[in-house]
Amino acid sequence: MDKYNVAVIGGGPAGLTTALTLASAKGKFDFVEGNRYIVIYEEYTDLNKALLNNVPGVKKGTLGKDLIKSIRDQINDYGNVDFLEDKVVKITGEKGDFRILTQTGKEIISEIIVIATGFHKFEIEGLEVETVPHKRSPRPNKIMIKHNDNVVLDGVYVAGLAAGEPTMFTSAAGSGAKVACDILSYWAGKTVVVHDVPDS
């Protein structure tokens, strides 16, 4: 059974940015050395059908599916994140020892869970989470997971549209970065962020 420090459920803007931020802490903090992360994602994400014209730093006219590939490649450069295309059906356990079961029967252990499954539905069994109407959705009948500053349960975070963010790439991605920094700060015992500076 594979074991990870953080399992990110969802491979859209929030999930990928969470993973990228965590991965990029490698080499900057002793407390993350040797850490492993996994992104478990389903084939479909709303970003697959997006045309991006207003994302800072992203060339106007970029297709969402191309940006997904680019971000995954960026994450892979760090060498500490695995990707699994599968559907999570059940999560049990507690902080430090969550057990994740996928539709294909894979079992994964993770210390921390990040839910970034979007605003369409939440069908993962085992977690005592509450869904409420999404407050910032331009479309009706969308959901978000009730949370307190992105914390759903001890060791379970929520990011992106599932956390109630607006349906904009930068909003969702920013939420993922925040959650990753919250996790890093928890491990550090103080507030930390991940910055890089050019070699002088």
Share of the chain above pLDDT 90, in %: 94
- At 141-159, the pLDDT tens digits run 999 999 999 999 999 999 9
Count of structural domains within the chain: 1
- The domain that holds 89 is classified in CATH as 3.50.50.60
User: Which tokens in the block code for residue 158?
Assistant: 């929520």
Task: Count CB-CB contacts under 10 A for residue 29.
Answer: 14
**Is residue 197 in a domain?**
no
Per-residue pLDDT, 44: 78
Instruction: Tell me how far apart the alpha carbons of residues 175 and 161 are, in angstroms, rounded to a whole number.
Output: 9
Decide if 195 is inside a domain: no
CA dihedral 168, 36, 69, 192 (to 10 degrees): 40
d(CA 9, CA 105): 16
Query: pTM of this prediction?
Result: 0.96
- Domain membership flag for residue 193: no
Whether residue 180 contacts residue 18, with contact meaning beta carbons closer than 8 Å, is answered with: yes
H or E segment to which residue 157 belongs? strand 156-158
Q: Mean pLDDT, to the nearest integer, of 109-133?
A: 96
Domain hosting 94: range is: 2-188
Question: Does the residue 56 lie in any domain?
Answer: yes
The distance from CA 81 to its chain's CA centroid, rounded to whole angstroms, is: 12
Instruction: Report the DSSP pairing between strands 51-52 and 62-63.
Output: antiparallel
- Is 199 inside any structural domain? no
